[in-house]
Structure 1
Amino acid sequence: MNKLLAAAGLAATVALVGCNKDKAPETGATTGEHIENAASQASHDIKNAAEHAASETEAAADKTAAKIDAAADEAAAKTEAAAHNAKEATKNAAADAAAAIEKSAADVKEKAQQ
């Protein structure tokens, strides 16, 4: 962006000085050639800036997608672990209930035999 502003400033300065078609002694280029070169450079700078922005946007999107995938994987793993824990808790509760029923039945049988 700074290059674009510098190029625009250069073009404006040259335009204010005037479109002198005589050869400038320092470079041998005419003012028109300087303006064309500045415009060409500004065009290249804009193209490069747009490509850089597109690249940065794509990298950010890829990074975001990777984070979303990792979060989904983590959520799936935690859900699976919770389901396993719930299954184990249910199995243990059923075993405890069966043991309690068996003990009660044994107690009733023992009392009945007395």
Structure 2
Amino acid sequence: MKKILVSLAAVAALAACSPKAQNETAEAADTVAGDVNATMGEAINDTDAAADRAFGSAEATMDNAGDRLANGADRAADRTGEALRDAGNAIDD
């Protein structure tokens, strides 16, 4: 809505100006539009980079948690096997 109002105001202002002023205003508008596009492009790139870093960090955290669980399960299985072996040896004795 604001863009429409600004555009209408610019058109009204241009209609009241000389051709030289109209050209200068048009050039200034083109420059502003280029700056806005560049700024938006940088903002998108920054947002994408931040998202990539966040997802990479989350992925690493999940990988580490999975590794810890797997290591804990391995240790538990080893201890269970040792306990069963000890129990079997105790029965044989």
TM range (shorter): 0.7 to 0.9
What is the deviation of 1:51?
Answer: 0.5
Task: Tell me if 1:91 matches 2:79.
Answer: yes
User: Is 1:81 paired with 2:64?
Assistant: no
Equivalent-residue separation in structure 2 for 1:95 and 1:85 (angstroms)? 15
Cα root mean square deviation, aligned: 1.0
Report whether the alignment pairs 1:71 with 2:72.
no
Larger helix proportion, structure 1 or 2?
Answer: 2
Larger CA Rg, structure 1 vs 2? 1
Could you tell me the percent identity over the aligned residues?
A: 15
Larger CA deviation: 75-84 vs 32-41: 32-41
The structure with higher relative contact order (CA 8 Å, sep 6+) is 1
Q: Which runs of 5+ in 1 are unaligned?
A: 1-25, 106-114
Asked if 1:102 corresponds to 2:90, the answer is yes
| TM-score, normalised via structure 1 length | 0.65
Task: Measure, in 2, the Cα distance between the counterparts of 1:96 and 1:90.
Answer: 10
Q: Paired residue for 1:30, among 1, 18, 24?
A: 18
> How many aligned residue pairs are there?
79
Q: Deviations over 1:77-96 (max 9, x none)?
A: 11001100100000000110
